[in-house]
Amino acid sequence: DAMVIQNPRYQVTQFGKPVTLSCSQTLNHNVMYWYQQKSSQAPKLLFHYYDKDFNNEADTPDNFQSRRPNTSFCFLDIRSPGLGDAAMYLCATSRDRQISYNEQFFGPGTRLTVL
Amino acid sequence: GQNIDQPTEMTATEGAIVQINCTYQTSGFNGLFWYQQHAGEAPTFLSYNVLDGLEEKGRFSSFLSRSKGYSYLLLKELQMKDSASYLCAVRDRSGGATNKLIFGTGTLLAVQP
């Protein structure tokens, strides 16, 4: 089945140690998104790629970076994780962003713990 | 600015009907989505409204009034598996990217026997 896959599902890292979360999709969608969701809070968009075009949200800290080497894969890099970065990280895709009806498909998420 | 409000928690009885409200303020409204999210899992798409009125999909219906900045999700014949968080999300085009979603904090629904 076509889907959005995130690995790992659970990631533990140490304070200040770089970590990379991965997302892959078999939907062949043009747009890939990364959200951060803290406990009992709304998912917060960090950035998105429209094809190879990177779009950063104004309030996303510089500590968060992303790479999209090809259509199928997108990575979230946290250069120096702090305790406040512990959260669920959700990857989502959509077919396009110019079409009015365009739902986003979410992966299962990676829960990041920072020790 | 952008603001989405939903009740934090609701409780309902199995077999009953529940309505979850969402009010929003946004400068570039371009559609409203409802997602279901079980604990520890990803959000899954439930419904989409861009025009005023009611959209029905099985046990789930969603209503939109753009002039009032208001939507609701109606769940009928509640089942225990409907216990989840329900997220209201508004697509905002004021930032340029037409598919940017702004999420509410979600309404945690507990279905009791």
Q: How far apart (Å, rounded) are the C-alpha atoms in residues B14 and B112?
A: 6
Q: Name the band, by pLDDT with cuts 50, 70 and 90, for residue A99.
A: low
Q: How confident is the model over A19-76, as pLDDT tens digits?
A: 999 999 999 999 999 999 998 888 999 999 999 999 999 899 999 999 999 999 999 9
Pairing outcome for strands A110-114 and A10-13: parallel
> What is the reported pLDDT for A2?
61
The arithmetic mean of pLDDT across residues A4-28, rounded, is 95
More confident residue, A99 or B19: B19
Distance CA B50, CA B107 (A): 21
CB contact under 8 A, B50 and A100: yes
Best of B94, B101, B102, B105 to substitute, by most chain A Cβ atoms within 10 angstroms, is B101
pLDDT the model gives residue A100: 54
Cβ distance A41 to B87 under 8 Å?
no
Nearest CA in chain B to A96: B99
In this complex, do B99 and A90 lie within 8 Å of one another by their Cβ atoms? no
Q: Is the pLDDT of residue B2 over 80?
A: no
- Interface A–B counts its CB contacts (< 8 A) at 57
Chain A residue closest in CA terms to B108: A40
Mean pLDDT, range A81-105, rounded to an integer: 85
Is the CB of residue B93 less than 8 Å from the CB of residue B64? no
